Structure 1
Amino acid sequence: MTSYPKGNLLPDHVRNAIRAYLRKASPERPVVISSAMREIRPLSEPEVPDDELKISIATEALKAGLNIHFDGPDN
């Protein structure tokens, strides 16, 4: 089993999946975190916690100049 150190260090394939998802995003509409999670989660490994994945999606979206929408604590 692989474990990942804390501190927003994701495997390259997960970070690449996030970036690919964000390249399709419209700068005129916010990135909806739950939608991004639904698409990216199956490509990530179970050891990557949901909170870490959500933060990484939001961080990459902001770096790309996109708005984000956190749509609830359960999503």
Structure 2
Amino acid sequence: MPQVTLTVNGTKHTVEVEARTLLVETLREQLRLTGTHVGCDTSQCGACVVHMGGDSVKSCTILSVQCDGSDI
């Protein structure tokens, strides 16, 4: 399994994820950061939006492996 390193709220985390794992799943299930919500499962509502590198992204539409090395 690939390892992903994310800096979330100033804290660096390294976790193993499956290649198909969504960022929202990694944040909620592995890092236990439940402030990010899954609202609609269709990427329409915006409940899963996080700031990554100064941009707003829907964490239910991006894979965790795509975020390796990112500040969230």
TM-score interval for Structure 1 and Structure 2 normalised by the shorter chain = under 0.3
Greater Rg by CA: 1
TM-score by length of 2: 0.28
Higher relative strand content = 2
TM-score by length of 1: 0.27
